Structure 1
Amino acid sequence: ASFGDHRPSSEPVIGVGDMVSVSIWEAGSGGLFSGPLVADRFSAGSKSALIPEQPVGRDGAISVPYAGRIKVAGRRTQDVQALIENELAGKAIQPQVLVSVTRPISQAVTVTGEGAAGARLPLSGHGDRILDVIAAAGGNRAPVNETFVRLSRGPVTATVPLTTVVSNPKENIYLRPNDVLTLVRDPQTFIAVGALGNSTELPFQADGITLAQALAKARGLSDFAADPAGTFIFRFEPASVVRRLSPSSRLLGTPLVPVVYRIDMRDPNSLFVSQAFRMRNRDLIYVSNAPFTEVQKVLTAFSGVTGPVSSAALAYSYAK
């Protein structure tokens, strides 16, 4: 999986709920915002007024004296400044306006899951990447090699191993307002059984391993007991994948279909296939210690397994 969009975030705009303050300057005294009470020996100079901080209403507007309700939602601060100056022209003395977003509530992301302090965090003006926000939330409590980063943006959700985000700058993308970032601890394991040096459940890192690496973790095929033609991988595949492997399968009505891949280690090409075949969480590797014809008899006992058993070539095509 990949987050894909690594473009810088767009320039922030004001949103509903943001806290906004407005300062107005006039070129001289005696204007709307520079009455005689504030006049002094420098009265010919500019005078200013600070409008108290206020939230952007549900209508996307704020109130400015003598200018009324000003639509600010979806606009940059400099655009709002120009709009207020235009509304005050002819009323105030050469008005100059400064608009500041004191609390950018709408420019925030939500961090949940294994983050040390799950919260809604504001984005800075220069833009924040995934690792910036994770650090601001207190970091990740789970082991990095067991953690996945799940990013939800609108209707789209993508999941990438945290180790990939750390090692690949293109995956450490800029976050956008209202993104939801979830840190998920999901230890990855596979089960190795049969004529292997170590028949057990073995862990692997979140960024994955190949079949060749998995066999190495299981101490390889047993020299005297293993049948090199009988290496099998049992897993559940989406129906869309099985439809290409076996269009006539009677199990295509279910979302996940049990599938068996066979690798013949006597074929040199299979060694290359094993280096490209990616293992998945909860896969089962079985190495036969009997001739392949005997294994076929065993497989007939599995009523829920799609058939025929997929070849190494198909495994290479669809398991990448």
Structure 2
Amino acid sequence: MAVKNLVVRTVKFALFLAFAANLAACGLPRSGPTKSELTRQDSETGQASFVVNVDDSIMRVSNIQPELGFPNDFKRVGMVGSDIIRPGDVLGLTIWENVDDGLLAGQGQNSTILEEVQVDGAGNIFVPYAGKLRASGQTPEQLRQVITRKLNDQTPDPQVQVRRVAGDGATVSVSGAVSGQGIYAIERPTRTLSAMLARAGGVAVEPEIAQIVLVRGNRRGRIWFEDLYDDPSLDVPLRGGDRILVEADTRKYTALGSTGAQSLVAFEMQNLSALEALAQVGGLLSTTADPTGIFILRDEQPNIANTLLGRSDFKASQRIVYVLNLTEPNGLFYARDFHIRDGDTVYVTEAPFTQWDKTISALTGSLGRVNSLSNLAN
């Protein structure tokens, strides 16, 4: 009798396992595909993506980031001479006359102040009794001498002062995420990019995610704000008409699976590692996550895909699935050093136990409900 009962229990348990396996295969609720499903090869339809296990050699290729920078001609230009007068500039003139009743001064005065003298589009200005004078291309000192000579024939020993107030001919626009947007003159203290940004009050976003765009004519360059101070060659001289735009980093990645949060996540730093990306969303869920199945899904450029896979026939972007196993000896180091890129998907699979636990819960719950209904019927 004991043997018979043991056989019956064994058969029932086998049937239970078979039913459980069938129930699991039917599709219990889960956060996404399993590790085996993601890495499975399809021999009939061909491989839609390529699975790559991350190691040092893989990271040397995959960690190549798109470079930001300025065109070389932005860097090669000389510093703008802040004393050179240009069309559109505004000048301030003061003229002293060595007589009581001068040409320009009022009764009882010996000086005349012309607060705003506009340099016209042709580069000329008009000074009473001196006439139309060429100002563009000259320094204030050179123009002072010209005006003095012109007035000297009409009033004895005139003394002239010329002040350059930078106007439309030497200004840049600063906009975007800065404390003070506006039009700023290129003056002696603000002839470089960093100085002009300081003049505008500095960036109004976190420095780690700030990007600087400089537009000059029909050309443009983009750099990281932090690189501006790390690399002196990026602190380029400005030119009249330059447009400076400060933007926050717009890169994002998607976090899915057994993580603390499943969402579209903005980058919080210039270089974001896989470990930091997981930390941003609360890390792995200790109750469900499979630390051997951390996947980064990315569309790689053909040159990178060819190098990764040892091929040369790819002409278009390829779908690459990078696999991180945190339980390996160097797994955490690989996750720390692997760079996430814009548009990546970070997916953490569920541990096999999790699906089995869901199956058992579903079965025990179902059997409990059946017993309850049976008791009610009786």
Report if aligned partners of 2:256, 2:348 keep a CA contact under 8 Å in 1: yes
Task: Describe the shift of the 1:57–1:241 C-alpha distance in structure 2 as closer, same or farther (beyond 3 A).
Answer: farther
Q: When the two structures are superposed, what TM-score results if normalisation uses the length of structure 2?
A: 0.54
1:226 aligned to which of 272, 280, 290: 290
Whole-angstrom CA distance in 1 between matches of 2:173 and 2:288: 56
**Is 1:151 aligned to residue 214 of structure 2?**
yes
Between Structure 1 and Structure 2, the one with more helix by share is: 2
1:217 aligned to which of 280, 287, 292: 280
**Is 1:132 aligned to residue 198 of structure 2?**
yes
Larger displacement relative to structure 2 (47-56 or 166-175): 166-175
1:235 aligned to which of 288, 298, 303: 298
Superposed CA offset, 1:109-141 (max 9, x none)? 2133345764323345422724424328xx73x
**Is 1:205 aligned to residue 268 of structure 2?**
yes
Whole-angstrom CA distance in 1 between matches of 2:297 and 2:260: 18
Unaligned segments of structure 2, at least 5 residues: 1-67, 353-378
**Is 1:17 aligned to residue 88 of structure 2?**
yes
Report if aligned partners of 2:92, 2:165 keep a CA contact under 8 Å in 1: yes
* Letter in structure 2 aligned against 1:282: G
Q: CA deviation at 1:55?
A: 1.3
* Letter in structure 1 aligned against 2:320: V
Q: CA deviation at 1:151?
A: 2.7
1:70 is matched with 133
Report if aligned partners of 2:166, 2:186 keep a CA contact under 8 Å in 1: no
Task: Describe the shift of the 1:76–1:268 C-alpha distance in structure 2 as closer, same or farther (beyond 3 A).
Answer: farther
Whole-angstrom CA distance in 2 between matches of 1:131 and 1:261: 41
Whole-angstrom CA distance in 2 between matches of 1:223 and 1:61: 78
1:79 is matched with 142
Q: Is the partner of 1:212 in helix, strand or coil?
A: helix
* Letter in structure 2 aligned against 1:34: G
* Letter in structure 1 aligned against 2:200: I
**Is 1:248 aligned to residue 310 of structure 2?**
no
Task: Describe the shift of the 1:15–1:167 C-alpha distance in structure 2 as closer, same or farther (beyond 3 A).
Answer: closer
Q: CA deviation at 1:56?
A: 0.8
Q: Is the partner of 1:183 in helix, strand or coil?
A: strand
Report if aligned partners of 2:92, 2:117 keep a CA contact under 8 Å in 1: yes
Q: When the two structures are superposed, what TM-score results if normalisation uses the length of structure 1?
A: 0.62
Unaligned segments of structure 1, at least 5 residues: 252-256, 292-320
1:1-320 counterparts in 2 under 5 A? 1=68, 10-12=80-82, 13-26=84-97, 28-29=98-99, 34-35=102-103, 47-51=110-114, 53-88=116-151, 93-102=156-165, 104-115=167-178, 118-127=181-190, 129-135=195-201, 140=204, 147-161=210-224, 164=226, 176-194=239-257, 196-198=258-260, 200-201=262-263, 202-218=265-281, 219-220=283-284, 226=290, 228=292, 231-236=294-299, 247-251=312-316, 257-260=317-320, 262-265=322-325, 272-287=333-348
* Letter in structure 1 aligned against 2:162: V
Report if aligned partners of 2:295, 2:347 keep a CA contact under 8 Å in 1: yes
Structure having the higher Rg: 2
1:305 is matched with none
Q: CA deviation at 1:284?
A: 1.0
* Letter in structure 1 aligned against 2:346: I
* Letter in structure 2 aligned against 1:260: I
Q: CA deviation at 1:65?
A: 4.0
Aligned residues: 272
